[in-house]
Amino acid sequence: MTASGRASAGPADGEAGRRAEPGTPSDRSRDEPRPRILRVTGPLVEIACPPSVAMHDVVLLGAAGLPGEVVAVDGDAATVQAYAYTGGLAPGHPARPQGHPLTVRLAPDLLGGVFDGLLRPLAGAGDLLRGGGSAAAPERRAWPFTPRVSRGARVAAGDVLGEIGAHVPLRLLVPPDRSGDVDRLAAAGEYATDSVLAVVGGHEIRMAQHWPVRRPRPAGGRLPADVPLHTGQRAVDLLFPVARGSTVAVPGGFGTGKTMLLQQIAKWCDADVIVYVGCGERGNEMADVIEELTELTDPRTGGSLAERTVTIANTSNMPMMAREASVHTGATVAEYFRDMGLDVVLIADSTSRWAEALREFASRMGELPAEEGYPAGLASQLAAFYERAAAVRTLSGASGSVTVIGAVSPPGGDRTEPVTAHTERFVRCLWSLDRDLAYARHYPAVSWADSFSRDAAALAAAHARGGDPEWLPRRGRVARLLAEADRLADLVELVGITALPPRERVSVLAGRLVREAVIQQNALSPGDAYSAPEKTSALVAAVLAVLDRCLELVDSGVRADAVEAVDFTPLLRARESAGPAETAAVVAARDQVLARLRDAA
């Protein structure tokens, strides 16, 4: 189908290509044909172009200049994946190679903003998105700057030049590819993001810097990930903890509360900066999370939670290939803040939609499909994405981290499908969401049987250093109680609870208390939406103390019926009645139940 077209279009373009200078279309002499479009099918556009066009170079397509990226070069033709709706684009329309890869502008004003997959601000882009986000720079706001080096000092890549006053402590760094003497440095004061704050080795340095999204930003080296990230979700912090700089996948069918769990973590985890990538998800949900983040107060800084969050919103009906770029954009933004010595959490909801964009494009390119139509490179692309997570020593010697949490949406809840199966191999933690738990309205529906955390051992050591040597045994006991209760539940269904020996009946009770008093969490309750480490420990300790007492009672001959009949309500209500970081109310609830047990004896 393409043969005749190629023959007529090929040679002329080859001539033009060798002389053309990409990136400076105006310099081209008038008689040379310009690079132009040969083929359009959805987001795949083929262009005739000069041989100097490199892989991953940005190309602006058509009169409207729709952005796209070169993904293949074949002779005088290049294949471009377009990041916008290509309706109306026709063969013969112009194409303008830009001579540089897809690059984003990184600046302090990303915090609190909402962007599309190419990091173009969505505020001010109009009610309907005809060509993606607005190209306009975000509102000009002045940021306080305090210099931290003196003029004439010799600085290397990544060194701190000064501090930028924001809710999050930001820094002005020497860009990774620059070094030299500080020729000029601005005095303390307020500056716009685009004003020149320093001149280093003859290069102007501004708050706003640019970086290609597909190239990981350099760091001084990787550090072991052994500092816990407190997510505020007990099911996770207690059973499947994650370290700063680690990776997590959250697989779950629809309706299992994936997005809810990720939003809770975005709101309450104790990272410095959150990068939330809504990748092929629901528009109303994005609107909701944006509104809530603005309204909620950050318990640590007192500012609004939005001020520590960068939101990349690429809903399922926005151009599909921008979805593919959005996870890399998110990773680049996360690394930018990491390099300032901050702990960043990158949340991608959902990586399955990103993988679908890869599949869609591979299919249009005519690549040979591997499993279920996904390209053979799926596994390596997933692995490369998760590898952008790390705890690092920055170029200037500070420590920072990027933790990646990716949602996975297995079709039909089938955990053997390629995206889930591959992702499981590359991540350090898996929080598997269970449909039965969600169906029973047990939230967060993190399955204790199908999840894992390979960080647990390292974090146990960290907890021990931090003065909590009991953390690992406590976790082990809770996990065993849950497993034992599950095993007995099958038996109870067959023979009834009364047929069990007393200690086993207490085990069944233990499962219920651990599930309902500790693991479950009500995202809508102000006291329970997040749980500080001390409250989580107090709740576990309270339940274990009550259970120990129950065991003593049945061992001393008290009937199991009598123990089961005790009203445990204060213990079950403690997680909601106590504040997010309150332990006194939990202890009081424990004592109340212990007193009732004494009466029952």
Partner 1 sequence: MSGGPVGVEYTGVRELRGPLVVVEGVREVGWDEFATIVLDSGERRHGLVLDVDRDLAVVQVLEDTAGMARTGTRVAFAGTPLRIPVGPGWLGRMCDGRGEPADGGPPVLGDTRAAVGAAPINPVRREPPGEPVLTGVGAVDVLTTLVRGQKLPVFSAAGLPHLELAVQIAAQATCAGEAFAVVFAGMGLTHADAEFVRAGLAARAAARDLVLLVNTADDPVIERLLTPRLALTVAEHLAFVVGRHVLVVMTDMTAYCEALREVSAARGEIPARRAYPGYLYSDLASLYERCGRIRGRPGSVTVLPVLTMPAGDITHPVPDLTGYITEGQIVLSAEVHASGAYPPVDPLSSLSRLMRKGVGAGRTRPDHPAVAAQLTAALARSRQVRELADLIGRPALSPTDQRFLDLEDVFRRRFLAQGTDENRSMDESLNGAWDVLLTLPRGELGMIPVDLLDTRTAAREKESP
Binding site for partner 1 (CB under 8 A): 1-2, 4-6, 8-9, 38-42, 46, 85-93, 114, 122-123, 125-130, 254-255, 278, 280, 282-288, 290-291, 313, 315-318, 320, 353, 356, 359-360, 363, 369, 372-373, 409, 411-414, 439-441, 493-494, 496, 524
Q: How far is the CB of 362 from partner 1 (least distance, A)?
A: 8
What strand order describes the sheet that includes 180-185? 154-155, 180-185, 196-200, 203-206
39 vs 535 by CB, closer to partner 1? 39
CA distance 236 to 242: 8
Q: For residue 1, give the 3-state DSSP assignment.
A: coil
The tokens for 208 are 């706003």
82 vs 597 by CB, closer to partner 1? 82
CA distance 409 to 350: 7
Q: Where are the alpha helices (DSSP H) in 339-450?
A: 351-365, 378-386, 418-426, 435-439
86 vs 432 by CB, closer to partner 1? 86
Q: Are strands 343-349 and 221-223 parallel, antiparallel or unpaired?
A: unpaired
Give the DSSP letter of residue 87.
T
User: Measured between alpha carbons, how far apart are the two ends of the chain, in Å?
Assistant: 87
9 vs 174 by CB, closer to partner 1? 9
492 vs 545 by CB, closer to partner 1? 492
122 vs 543 by CB, closer to partner 1? 122
Q: Which residue has the tokens 């200049």?
A: 65
- Residue 92 burial (CB count, 10 A): 8
- Residue 100 burial (CB count, 10 A): 14
351 vs 401 by CB, closer to partner 1? 351
Q: How far is the CB of 118 from partner 1 (least distance, A)?
A: 14
Q: How far is the CB of 56 from partner 1 (least distance, A)?
A: 23
Element (H, E) at 453: strand 452-453
Q: How far is the CB of 433 from partner 1 (least distance, A)?
A: 13
446 bridge partner residues? 433
Q: For residue 586, how many C-alpha atoms fall within 13 Å in the half-sphere facing its CB?
A: 26
CA distance 226 to 155: 30
Type of residue at 407: A
69 vs 281 by CB, closer to partner 1? 281
The length of the chain in residues reads 601
Q: How far is the CB of 218 from partner 1 (least distance, A)?
A: 33
CA distance 262 to 237: 14
**244 and 343 Cβ atoms separated by less than 8 Å:** yes
Q: How far is the CB of 306 from partner 1 (least distance, A)?
A: 12
Q: How far is the CB of 276 from partner 1 (least distance, A)?
A: 12
Q: How far is the CB of 129 from partner 1 (least distance, A)?
A: 5
277 vs 456 by CB, closer to partner 1? 277
Q: How far is the CB of 67 from partner 1 (least distance, A)?
A: 16
